[in-house]
A and B are shown apart, each in its own frame.
Chain A
Amino acid sequence: MTAWINVMRAIVGREFLRFVHQRERFLSALVRPLVWLLIFAAGFRAALGISIIPPYQTYITYETYIVPGLCAMILLFNGMQSSLSLVYDREMGSMRLLLTSPLPRWWLLFCRLIGSSAISVLQVYTFLAIAALFDITMPLMGYVAALPSLFLGGIMLGALGLVLSSFVRQLENFAGVMNFVIFPMFFLSSALYPLWRMAESSELLHDICALNPFTHVVELIRFSLYLQINPIALLWVLGTSLVFCLAAVWGYDPARAMMKRKG
């Protein structure tokens, strides 16, 4: 058991070291949601009025509304970034080192997932701290209560990244995949607009948004920031995380055809 914990410590530690060495990655991960929050939200504040919907008990500003969505956006981008670095590791060879460890592959992948999720959460809190500087704040205890939701969201989106990295063979194919995953997931969700708004435009789009697991990550974070639990969102995120984790383990099974690479 000690060996398993040592591996966890090493893989998570390596993820942190790698993150520290890539300061530009940290900055870009922060700039992206801040641009949305401070520029996009300011511009759209007038156009998109938000009525009182749970978990909010009063009228809120649009900036306040999109904060949970932007937290989830950080998790999403980081999950994809982590996936990209897995493909890079495989191209460069360092993935071989990980996969030839005499411990179960699912555990190695899980450790990697924990590491990347921990970094995502760290980035989210940095973002929330900067948002607070601009007077966009949540209840104080909400910041603590949101931690499990953020971590769970990070696991779900990181696992999605793992699944993608087991399918995508080459780095150059990755940009396309990211566009096909990130943008539909983000825009077809409740990150930027409440679902009832979407229903006014199209029932079909509303239904797609409601089925999008990313919507449930956003709602899980939103409710927990206000010290509430959204059970439907929680079940969706737990279930989807499980499915993505199983798919990732399947994708990385050495006997599976998709891992067969010549050379």
Chain B
Amino acid sequence: MTAGSNSGLSVSDLKFNYGQKQALKGVSFDLPKGQFCALLGPNGAGKSTLVSLLTRLLVAPGGSIHVAGQDLRTTPYKALARLGVVFQQPTLDLDLTVRQNLAYFAALHGLPRRDVPKRITAALERLEMAERADEKVRALNGGHRRRTELARALLHNPEVLLLDEPTVGLDAAARANITAHVHDLADQGLCVLWTTHLTDEVRDSDHLLVLHQGEILTEGTCGAIRGDQDLSDWFLTQTRAPS
């Protein structure tokens, strides 16, 4: 595995079992910086397991993961420092303010204290959340909470952004807002991996990975993969078929 300067997220022959059950059966893909990649898969496809492995909540017995050229197995802390994550489950402390939540995260990532206020202001402004900085998270709606989590994930200027079903529980407007914003981030050079089971979040120009029963079913540009079919219909046909 090379650690090229344009290397975003590289996964090679990743396997993982829960006891006897194979959750991932040799998953491989390579995403450069500046690419928005949608990882589409039905429930139970192995998306959550893959996210746990990419964030080192679990360690796979086989295969390798490189984040911006850093091997997650041999240099885990360097790799994690280059990774921004928005988890599917909310991970904000509801009793703290938006700013306190971000400051806590900044400390967890070892950012220099004197830079933190500036970084927080910049991250919140980017997400149009600056005026809510001193509100308690409990007072925010679902969309604003998600935006806070996204701002937080960008605080340490990661090179790879991983979002695990980030629009779950959001209304249509908030979903569209977050999806558009993350596409902009990819245009600005970030490598984005967006896991979802919602086909309407994927654009034709996006790179698409389809995960089914622990394997990559297909990979390519979304428009080319779906052809004339609606992506939703194509996806249903593919994931219904026995593999």
B79: chain A residues at CB < 8 Å are 102
Q: A6 within 8 Å of B by Cβ? A: yes
Known: A14-B104, A96-B57, A254-B56. A103 touches B91 (CB 8 A): no
Instruction: Give the shortest distance, in Å, between B113 (CB) and chain A (any CB).
Output: 6
1/0 per position for B65-103, CB-CB distance to A under 8 A?
A: 000000000001111110101011111110110001001
For the complex, is A204 an interface residue (Cβ under 8 Å from B)? no
Chain B interface: which of A51-59, A239-247, A255-263?
A255-263
Per the 8 Å Cβ criterion, residues 83-113 of A in contact with B are 92-94, 96-104, 108
Within the complex, which residue of B49, B78, B91, B113 is in contact with A102, where a contact is CB–CB below 8 Å? B78
Q: Does chain B have a CB within 8 A of A47?
A: no
User: Quick check: is A17 within 8 A (CB to CB) of the other chain?
Assistant: yes
What secondary structure prevails in chain A residues at the interface with B? helix
Query: Are B89 and A92 interface neighbours, CB within 8 A?
Result: yes
User: Could you tell me the distance in whole angstroms from the C-beta of A260 to the nearest C-beta in chain B?
Assistant: 6
Interface magnitude class on chain A: 20 to 34
Given A4-B110, A10-B104, 20 more contacts at CB 8 Å?
A2-B110, A3-B110, A6-B113, A14-B96, A93-B89, A96-B85, A96-B89, A97-B87, A98-B108, A99-B57, A100-B55, A100-B57, A100-B83, A101-B80, A101-B109, A102-B76, A102-B78, A254-B56, A254-B57, A263-B48
Q: Is B176 an interface residue (CB 8 A)?
A: no
B59 touches A255 (CB 8 A): yes
A6 partner residues in chain B, CB cutoff 8 A: 107, 110-111, 113
Q: Contact: A10 with B107, CB < 8 Å?
A: yes
A102-B110 in contact (CB<8A): yes
Binding site for B on A (CB under 8 A): 2-4, 6-7, 9-11, 13-14, 17-18, 21, 92-94, 96-104, 108, 254-255, 259-260, 262-263
> In the bound complex, how far is the Cα of B88 from the Cα of A18, in angstroms?
23
Q: What residues on B are CB-neighbors of A104 within 8 Å? A: 77
Q: Is the CB of B95 within 8 A of A21?
A: yes
Shortest Cβ distance from B23 into A: residue: A262
Assess whether B87 is in contact with A9, with CB atoms less than 8 Å apart.
no
- Bound-state Cα–Cα, A103 to B18, Å: 27
Chain A residue nearest in CB terms to B54 = A100
Complex CA–CA separation, A10 to B113 (angstroms): 11
